[in-house]
Structure 1
Amino acid sequence: MDSNKQQLPSEPLRLRQDSNTLQASPDAPSSEKQQDDSQPPPPPNGGLVAWLQVAGAWMIMFNVLGLLNSYGQFQNIYETDLLRDKSTSTIAWIGSAQFLICYLVCIFTGPLLDTGHLHLLLGIGTVVTVFGLMMVSLCSSYYQFFLAQTIVTGIGFGLIFLPASSVVSQWFSTRTPLAIGISVSGSSIGAIIYPIMLQRLSEQIGFPWTVRIMGFMVLGTMLFTAAVMRVRVGKNPQKRKVVDLRHFKDKFYLIACLSFFVNFLGLYVFYYYISLYATEVAGTDQSLADYLLAILNAGSFLGRLIPNWLAGRYGLMNVQIIFGVISGALAFALLGIKTTGGVVAFAVVYGFVSAPYVSLPIPIVTSLSPDKSVWATRLGMSFAVIGLGALIGSPVAGAILGNSNNRNWTGLIIWCGVMFFTSTAILTTLRTMKVGFNLFVKA
């Protein structure tokens, strides 16, 4: 059911109502408060073509977030071999800045996607991504890795990432959270396969050829994506601003972006440092520690699906807030985990409970944006805010952690826990502003 064509209720929404009917912010730009005659018909909410969009988006997430979430394995290789003369925090900038570049590029791809240029973005993005990975295989110094992996590959990721987030939303209504959860689950599989490839193949054929094989995998899977994905909104010749600051006048949208920014200050810290924590604090054998990132990402697979399914029934922000509280509590629980078994269990559970912070922001942003013609633009701007949080978070955590002679694991863990609770408090404020203090309202 397309809620944009029905009268919005004047009283708080109850659990039986669909989350897509949430009231638009009164501060939203006027272009979003009115629908024009060019709006597409209601989405099919299923069917072969719609689910093919999910499959195509799944492949994009497999490659983009799969590789971004695998940086912890790159970090290990760089620290122990290729860049062992650099500090932990310095090396972390390669991965965190790659997140920022990817999400910043989404600012520019949003308006392009809103005007229908899907395959242009997929084609150029695939070429740039594969080229960047091939260049990474030839690098030997820090600045070369930063240019190839952070800048070039980050730009390629940014060109193909936003279509995965936006196009799926165009084809579903009541099933949007579940469809996005399924597509984002590709990141979990990619973040299992790519770290294991790096760990195992690097020992057998070396780091350069391992990265080249990854590049060929990206090329093959993206050919499938380009063949099946399509937009429902036709090309619109209307020019759009790359950065339309009017959207930040919508206080609901602004507060949501602030919540996501704060969360990403802490979200990926354990992705980068869990293996190091296992070896230094829990005394875990290095051969097992190398698989902890893959184990964490395996836990996130169901965390992309189950919370999104629950969100479709009980409300996007309701589910996000619950999992935010659990994630913050779990982060602090790591202070008492000092054994290998405990760290492995932590990795699995943390992967599950923190996963909604990757899959739920997309439907939350679109639910706050009643005008479908600017969904990609709004998502791109929100991703830029998220990318800034990802840029700052892990290096700050690395600086808190310190060098090998004076580790501050307590400070790092507290940093993560505080970021989760602060983000959840901000999102709770947004929910209260929208629907009040009633706990049984779907929001």
Structure 2
Amino acid sequence: MQDHYERINFRHIPNAQLQLSFTGTVMEVMTHLLGPLAQIISSRYGVKVVLIVGTILTSLGLELAAFSTEIWHLYLTQGAIFGAGASLLFTTALSAPPQWFNRRRGLSLGLVSSGTGVGGLVLPFVMTGLNNALGATWTYRIWGLICFGANIISCFLIKEKNQRWSSSNKRLSEVFDLSVIRDMNFIVWLVGSVIAYSGFLVPYFFLPSYVTHLGMSSTDASVFMAALSVSNIIGRISVGFIGDRIGRLNAHLIFTMASGLSSLLIWTFAYSYISIMSFALIFGFFCSSYIALLSPITVAILGMRKFPTGLSVLLLANVVSVFGPSLASGLESVFQSAEPYMVYKMFTGATYLTGALFLLALKIKIAGGLMTKI
């Protein structure tokens, strides 16, 4: 949508790229901000209520976005309303599987989180075709209906294993165990995750614009995003499978380092169709290990009793991370004399590798060495 708006609807607005990217930032902030609210509602009324409210908000946000005539309209609709609904759905989807799995917890979360990759595979082609044929207004309307249909299915399928998590008699102090913020292992995990995740969204936000900047078509951009999503699906399932065997933190560390190196060593020099496709496939495979292993690693550090609070705190902290694309855009505008999009490439690589250093420190702190399975 950003690429379409830059080229069509808001092409005459100065700094449109930076302003439009803030829509995604608002959306991601809301997606992570309401984790505690989802935890409170689900603890008192059950996950079904959370899922239903989330489904209504996501669909409503997209349908209202269809009426947007100014960029700030997108902040309120796709950003705030859709993001709030996505937060309720996302938090619930991440918190349910650990209740049902232990030995294959990594693989189960990898399979669950791979669903976003499926959406990323399908939607670029659907939305590009709709944008070109019908315009942004009808694209949002149809997209809202697709979200409604998909999430209604989730309302029926996602459920809790242990109903005591849904007791309406719980006090707030029982729902949130704030002792997690005194756990140094959890703090190191949190800081490293925030830093690495800051680079995750940058290629998703700006790779389509980068492709059209090089003179390729919007269809080519959709192909690259689809390739990124296909490899992302495979990567999320793979890191879960590998993590169950060599240790989930070990697998996450390897994948995080590979993500940073792919940006610095491949995207930096990617100017042709083949080189950009190589980056999309490699980065897509490695980049989402945090989302796939977020819950299993948090459970391993805190235990199941403190896990819901730990998950909420992590999602809140990730609000900082979602400003990564906006920060990268700001740096790009400062260094205008440099090669276009180079800041995005460096920013992605640097954040992932810095986050990997914190993960390495966490591994050594917990296990006392490099070869231990954890």
Instruction: Give the TM-score category using the shorter length.
Output: over 0.9
Aligned match of 1:402 in 325, 333, 345? 333
Q: How do 1:248-267 residues align onto structure 2 when only pairs under 5 Å count?
A: 248-267=181-200
Look up the equivalent residue of 1:221 and give its one-letter code.
A
Counterpart in 1 of 2:63? 134
Counterpart in 1 of 2:3? 76
User: 1:419-440 CA distances to partner (integer Å, 9 max, x unpaired)?
Assistant: 111100001111111011141x
Larger Rg: 1
C-alpha change, 1:239 and 1:427, in structure 2 (3 Å) is same
C-alpha change, 1:227 and 1:279, in structure 2 (3 Å) is closer
- Contact persistence 1:263–1:420 (CA under 8 A): yes
User: 1:77-96 CA distances to partner (integer Å, 9 max, x unpaired)?
Assistant: 22112233152122111101
Distance 1:189 1:397 in 2: 27
Shift of 1:315: 0.3
Distance 1:291 1:83 in 2: 24
Counterpart in 2 of 1:422? 354
Moved more, 418-427 or 87-96: 87-96
- Contact persistence 1:133–1:212 (CA under 8 A): yes
Shift of 1:292: 1.9
Shift of 1:401: 2.1
Q: What TM-score, normalized to structure 2?
A: 0.92
Shift of 1:388: 1.9
2:301 is equivalent to residue 368 of structure 1: yes
Look up the equivalent residue of 1:294 and give its one-letter code.
A
Distance 1:229 1:99 in 2: 23
Distance 1:313 1:105 in 2: 33
Counterpart in 1 of 2:140? 211
C-alpha change, 1:367 and 1:86, in structure 2 (3 Å) is farther
Shift of 1:255: 1.1
User: 1:366-406 CA distances to partner (integer Å, 9 max, x unpaired)?
Assistant: 22121x3442222121111113211x200111122229975
Q: How do 1:334-373 residues align onto structure 2 when only pairs under 5 Å count?
A: 334-370=267-303, 372-373=304-305
Distance 2:235 2:9 in 1: 34
Shift of 1:345: 1.5
Distance 2:317 2:336 in 1: 34
Moved more, 201-210 or 398-407: 398-407
User: 1:98-131 CA distances to partner (integer Å, 9 max, x unpaired)?
Assistant: 1111101012212333446201101111111111
Moved more, 190-199 or 307-316: 190-199
Look up the equivalent residue of 2:277 and give its one-letter code.
V
Counterpart in 2 of 1:193? 122
What's the Cα RMSD here?
Answer: 1.9
Counterpart in 1 of 2:366? 434
User: 1:30-78 CA distances to partner (integer Å, 9 max, x unpaired)?
Assistant: xxxxxxxxxxxxxxxxxxxxxxxxxxxxxxxxxxxxxxxxxxxx21122
Shift of 1:284: 3.0
Q: What TM-score, normalized to structure 1?
A: 0.79
- Contact persistence 2:93–2:158 (CA under 8 A): no
C-alpha change, 1:379 and 1:290, in structure 2 (3 Å) is same
2:205 is equivalent to residue 272 of structure 1: yes
3-state SS, counterpart of residue 238 of structure 1 = coil
The percentage of counterpart residues that share the same residue type is 21
Look up the equivalent residue of 2:309 and give its one-letter code.
T
C-alpha change, 1:193 and 1:261, in structure 2 (3 Å) is same
Shift of 1:155: 0.7
User: 1:306-358 CA distances to partner (integer Å, 9 max, x unpaired)?
Assistant: 11100001101101111111111111112222212111111111100112122
Look up the equivalent residue of 1:303 and give its one-letter code.
G
Shift of 1:296: 1.2
Look up the equivalent residue of 1:268 and give its one-letter code.
L
C-alpha change, 1:275 and 1:223, in structure 2 (3 Å) is closer
3-state SS, counterpart of residue 82 of structure 1 = coil
Structure 1: unaligned runs, 5 residues or longer: 1-73
Which structure carries more helix by proportion?
2
Aligned match of 2:36 in 107, 112, 115? 107
Distance 2:313 2:30 in 1: 13
C-alpha change, 1:424 and 1:146, in structure 2 (3 Å) is same
3-state SS, counterpart of residue 155 of structure 1 = helix
Q: How do 1:17-166 residues align onto structure 2 when only pairs under 5 Å count?
A: 74-84=1-11, 85-87=13-15, 88-115=17-44, 117-166=46-95
Shift of 1:244: 5.1
Look up the equivalent residue of 1:437 and give its one-letter code.
G
Counterpart in 1 of 2:258? 326
Structure 2: unaligned runs, 5 residues or longer: none
